[in-house]
Amino acid sequence: MNVPASTPAGAARPLPGPPSLPASLRARRTGVIPGLKYRPVAPADPAKAEEVDRRLEAWARELDLFPPAWKGDFAGFQFGRAVVLQHPRALDLDRLTVAGELLLAENLVDSCYCEVEEGRGGSRRDLGARLLMAQSAIDPHHGTARSQEQWRLGMRADGPLRSYHWAMKDYAEFATPSQTGRFVHDIARLHMGYLAEAAWAETGYRPEVWEYLVMRQFNNFRPCLSIVDAVDGYELPEAVHARPEIQRITALACNATTLVNDLYSFTKELADDPAHLNLPQVVAANEGRGLKAAYLESIEIHNRIMESFEEEAALLSATSPLVERYAQGLSDWVAGNHEWHATNTHRYHLPDYW
Amino acid sequence: MNVPASTPAGAARPLPGPPSLPASLRARRTGVIPGLKYRPVAPADPAKAEEVDRRLEAWARELDLFPPAWKGDFAGFQFGRAVVLQHPRALDLDRLTVAGELLLAENLVDSCYCEVEEGRGGSRRDLGARLLMAQSAIDPHHGTARSQEQWRLGMRADGPLRSYHWAMKDYAEFATPSQTGRFVHDIARLHMGYLAEAAWAETGYRPEVWEYLVMRQFNNFRPCLSIVDAVDGYELPEAVHARPEIQRITALACNATTLVNDLYSFTKELADDPAHLNLPQVVAANEGRGLKAAYLESIEIHNRIMESFEEEAALLSATSPLVERYAQGLSDWVAGNHEWHATNTHRYHLPDYW
């Protein structure tokens, strides 16, 4: 896999002020983070992305997922372009659209339940209860006839619940029960990650780097990579998927691509909420270093995880065409997600560290 | 399956005082809850239970899982007798012992992290962060060489982490990767249930009955029933286990046996903490009824779920010997768990409602 030449850290321009202050950061750069290990991909086919967006919009409107006033924010996310980039070998537009539905649902739950600063109802205090109800939207209740009927009605209570519930129904149309079970587990992981992050925010705990990385393995893009085989029209059988070495390359790919998010959204998070946890902040706090050095070290941490993924995925791919196909799907998602981050100038700008 | 004759609810003796006050409740009865649907089983072989306890004690001592002062409480739990009753067809003592290790670990995490009243360090505020670390003890971190080494050291930090981590290692010696993955998912469900319950306690939220039942499907004995096939020495393949109808009978069995716990521990919980959520309390609060009527209705809710399990399990069992074996394992666990609750006079007494 191709790694673009980086500007050496030594060539970085000096910062004009104390590096821990958002105002000191001139967030002007866009494009690729210098020194970041990634695989470049072709731009998304705009017609395909537009068609997925058109279908997603109809789906969201039909289910009344969010107020019209939020449309601009969600358009800025570019769901269609995201899934077209992340699933370049998708079997068809229907599956790509369901990938988009799941992505939209995940963002809606995050935005409305978890992100206190966004002002859409997010709250830390009852997050555990709300995320459990959200989990149950994809992991159905089995009780008495009455409690099941009330649960079914309850799952229509708000946009986040409706989006999880109906996106999952659409996913189960083509995914096997093992693939849907895998996804449900990965959403449980995600919710646990949200809850850990919320607990740290609540208590003001400053995690060590390894603790942050453990949390980030849960608060992670993993549910998006969980569906790569189903979207491409095949199944990596659960007995293979569950093997420790396959679990490991899955986690490595998911962790690498999640840290890419930390790096691309660093400047935005610093501006929105200077206390927002991300890898550079945690490295800076733990190692008593300025944000610039911590940012550059965070790139290195990402690169080492990415290298482990690439090396181990290559070894395993040599053992089985099916594993090779799966590892390619993971790599495609990671590469497409990088491209999305590097080009989504609506959301992201880079610090001026080089 | 056999259902013992019940004392009709109409024959209940009047309570001497207001039913919502713990002091009003004469908790004298032991034995089986009248009217409860259950399958009686033979008592546990005491020699077998004692041998499992001996091994568990050695294991706990070797890993320094809890201070010697807690030994009495854990002896009162009767882990050996519990797993001997719950897994009557266990392949061997080694597997029974691992079932006991997992059960002990689950109780240790609950006691030390979740149960604020027990005074062993439980706290609601940072529970999300602690349960994430506990989850990672069985769902390993994959990062850089350094973060992995620090994670390995971090997983030795306390008894709950050590117990999860090492019990899981022992389980993975005979369970397939799919079976361990299933268990990891079920522990994630359990942790989400703990977190929802803690959030409700924190905000003072009084759930509706269906909401309580949804939460209780997560805060549930499910991880214990997750291992029935592995402990019995075979595997229900994941592709079968994941099928919606198998997921449904699994959830029904798990829910029925979890509500048995609500019913048997009702008096103890009322005495320890009158605000403790359990099904009778939730029914009473929602339907404006006294605790006695709510308790009797809770028995009915349990019975309806138990009947659904038995009927649907019988239908599915007719379709495949492997499913029949699995359904039998679920039923065995439910029956053994009932026997454990009905005879564990160290922990439980019944209200005097009949």
Q: A155 contacts in B (CB within 8 Å)?
A: none
pLDDT per residue as tens digits for the range B98-153: 999 999 999 999 999 998 877 778 788 899 999 999 999 999 999 999 999 999 99
pLDDT of amino acid A25: 53
Chain B residues closer than 8 Å to A181 by CB: 185, 238, 242, 247
Which residues in B89-109 are b (16+ Cβ under 10 Å) and which e? ebeeeebbbbbbbbbbbbbbb
Asked if B205 has any chain A CB less than 8 Å from its own CB, the reply is yes
pLDDT at residue number B29: 67
Least confident of B42-46, B82-86, B271-275: B271-275
What pLDDT is recorded for position B27? 55
Which tokens go with A1? 């896999």
Query: Per-residue pLDDT for B243 more than 80?
Result: yes
- Given a cut of 80, whether residue A299 has pLDDT beyond it is yes
Is residue B175's pLDDT more than 80? yes
Question: Which residues is A350 bridged to in the sheet?
Answer: A29
Q: Which residue of A has its CA nearest to B209?
A: A147
User: Does B59 or B120 have the greater pLDDT score?
Assistant: B59
Residues of B in contact with A209 (CB under 8 A): 147, 150
pLDDT attached to residue A29? 67
Mean pLDDT of A219-242: 98
**Which pLDDT belongs to residue B122?**
79
DSSP output for B111-171: IIII-GGGTSS--STTHHHHHHHHHHTTS---S-HHHHHHHHHHTTSSHHHHHHHHHHHHH
**Across the interface, do A129 and B218 touch by the CB < 8 Å criterion?**
no
Q: Of A132, A144, A195, which has the smallest distance from its Cβ to B193's Cβ?
A: A132
Give this complex's ipTM.
0.91
**Over 50: is that where the pLDDT of A1 sits?**
no
More confident residue, A28 or B346: B346
Helix (H) and strand (E) counts in chain B? 16, 0
pLDDT score recorded for residue A26:
54
Nearest CA in chain B to A197: B129
pLDDT higher for B273 or A158? A158
A173 touches chain B (CB under 8 A): no
**Chain A contacts of B145, Cβ < 8 Å?**
304
Point out the residue among B127, B176, B251 whose CB comes nearest to the CB of A142.
Answer: B251
pLDDT category at B26 given cuts 50, 70, 90 is low
Structure tokens, B348: 């439980």
Instruction: With CB atoms and an 8 Å threshold, state whether B213 touches A133.
Output: no
**Nearest-CB residue to A150 (from B191, B210, B255):** B210
Query: What is the per-residue pLDDT for B9?
Result: 32
Left if phi > 0, otherwise alpha if psi is -120 to 50, otherwise beta: which for A35?
Answer: left
d(CA B269, CA B322): 39
Closest Cα to residue B132, out of B111, B154, B148?
B154
At residue B35's C-alpha, the angle toward residues B33 and B39, to 5°, is: 75
Q: In which band, very low, low, confident or very high, does the pLDDT at A273 lie, cut at 50, 70 and 90?
A: confident
Print burial letters for A101-111: b (CB count within 10 Å at least 16), e (below 16): bbbbbbbbbbb
B199 vs B207: CA distance, rounded Å: 11
What's the pLDDT band for A10 if we cut at 50, 70, 90?
very low
Distance to chain B for A178, nearest Cα, Å: 5
Please tell me whether the overall predicted TM-score, pTM, comes out greater than 0.90 for this model.
yes
Predicted confidence at residue B25, as pLDDT, reads 53
| Residue A84 near residue A49 (C-beta atoms within 8 A) | yes
Alpha-carbon distance of B104 to B65, in angstroms, equals: 10
Give the confidence band of A27 by pLDDT, cuts at 50, 70, 90.
low
Interface of A with B in 227-246 (CB under 8 A): 237-239, 242-244
Interface check for A251 against chain B (CB to CB < 8 A): the answer is yes
> Using the 8-state DSSP alphabet, how is residue A121 labeled?
S
User: Cβ distance B56 to B79 under 8 Å?
Assistant: yes
Nearest to A125 among B147, B202, B239 (CB): B202
Q: Which helix or strand (DSSP H or E) is residue A65 part of?
A: none
Which chain A residues are within 8 Å of B151, Cβ to Cβ?
210, 213-214
* Beta carbons of A209 and B147 less than 8 Å apart: yes
From the CA of B175, how many Å to the nearest CA of chain A? 12
For residue B195, is pLDDT > 50? yes
Inter-chain CB proximity A213 and B147 less than 8 Å: yes
Lowest mean pLDDT among A182-196, A205-219, B28-42: B28-42
Residues of A in contact with B184 (CB under 8 A): 185
State the nearest Cα–Cα gap between B169 and chain A, in angstroms: 12
Average pLDDT (B84-109) is 97
- Asked whether the beta carbons of residue A211 and residue B133 sit closer than 8 angstroms, the reply is yes
